[in-house]
Structure 1
Amino acid sequence: MKQDIKAESSHSTCNAEVECGITSRLLTLKGEYSESKFARKCNIPISTMRKYLSGSMPGLDKALQISEALGVNIQWLSTGKGPKWASESQEEGARESSIDHSDDLYWSDSKSEQAIIDLLESTEKELNRVGQFPVTEAELNKNQILRDAKFQLSVLYSSPGMYPELKGQIELMLRLAFADPAIERSAADAMKKTHTRLKRASMLIETVSEAIGWEPPLDIKEAMKTAIFNDDLSEETVLRLMDAIYRAIQKGND
C-alpha cells in the first residue's frame, strides 16, 4: 500500500489558503494522484474529498475510513504525530512489546496528559474568542483551529488508556462546544448500559435474597449492588458472598 501512494508532493507544505493540519496531510498522501483517483482509493465520494482537500474537516468515521483504506496510522493523520503508516506502528509495537512501559502508558503519561490539557485550553481560548456555544457549522467551516481541535478531540475520546478525568473533559467539550452527535449517541448508549447493569444488580440481589431466605440491611444491599455493578459478579458468586455475610451476622448474634 505504501508503494501505491506518493509520499512526497508539492502540496506537502501548507499554502496561504490551507493552514497546516489534516488537510495538508491528506494533500501529502494524495501526491500526484488526481482528486478522483485519490477519492476512489479512499472510498470517499469525489465531491466530499474535494471539500477535505480544500480545508473541510472530515468526521472521525471518515478519517478512520481513509486511514484504513490507505494503511495510514490514524494518530498521524489526525495529529501529525507518531508513525505515518499503520504497518510501521504495528512493527514498532512488536519491537517494544517486551519493554516495560508501566510508566509510559498510551495517552496516560505526564507529557501526553499535559498535551491534552493544552489542547483543551487552546480550544477553550479560541471558543471564547469566537463567542459561539455551540460552534455553528458555518464558523467551523472557516475556522481551521476549531476544525483541527474537534477532530483531535474526537480521536482522543476514542483512544484507549485515557484517564477518566481527561476523557470526561473531552466529552464535555465535544458535547457543549461542538454539539457532536456522535458523542451524544455515545453518552446515551453509556447511560443505557449503566441502567441495564444497575437493574441486573438489583434483580440479582432480590433473587439471591429469596434463595437464602434473608433480606440484607440497606447498607449491605447497596455495597453488594456496587460490587455487582463494578465487577460484573455472577449469580453464583453473589450467592456465596451473601450467604457468608448472612452466616457471619447470625454467628455474631448468637
Structure 2
Amino acid sequence: MLNAESGSESEGSGSSPELECGFSGRLKQAIGARSVLSFAKECGISDSLVRKYLAGSHPGLDKAVVMARVAGVSLEWLATGEGSSDKGAQTPAKQGFAGGEIDLDLLESVAATTLQELETRRIHLEPAAQARLLRVLYRHFASRHEQPDHDTVSNIIDLAAYR
C-alpha cells in the first residue's frame, strides 16, 4: 500500500501498528463470513498472502483494488478507513446502473435486439462504443419497464449518432 507520508510502497515494514491493525481489521470485515481460502480464490491471490494482510502486512495497490472489488467495498475505505465501506453494497458485477439490481433478462434482450439491429444496418462499432450504446439502451428500457423493440432501438441509435 502506498505510504501516505513518504509516497513509497510498503509491505508493512516501517508503518505504525495502529495503521496495520486498522487495515487488517477492515479487510477482515470486508471478507465477512467467507473463508480466507474462498476469498483469496475469488481475488486470484494465494490464501497465504491474504493471511499476511490479515496479520498486518499491507498489499500493493493492485492487490488492494482486487480485494476491494471482490469484497464489494470502496477502495478508499479498505485502504484508509475513510469514507463509506459501502460501495453500493454490491460488487460491480451485481451493481446496477442506478445502484439497483441489473435485470439480466432485460440486459440480454437489449443486447440481442441491439446487436441484431446493428448487423441489419451494417453498423460496425468498436467494443467501447457498443458498451456505451448498450448502457444507454438498457437504462432507457429499464426506466420504462419495457422490453426492447427494433423501432425504439433504431431511433436511439440514430439519436445517439451511432451510425
The TM-score range, normalised by the shorter chain, is 0.3 to 0.5
**Which protein has greater RCO, CA pairs closer than 8 Å, 6+ apart?**
2
TM-score (norm 1): 0.27
TM-score (norm 2): 0.40
Specify which structure has the higher proportion of helix.
1
Greater Rg, structure 1 or structure 2?
1
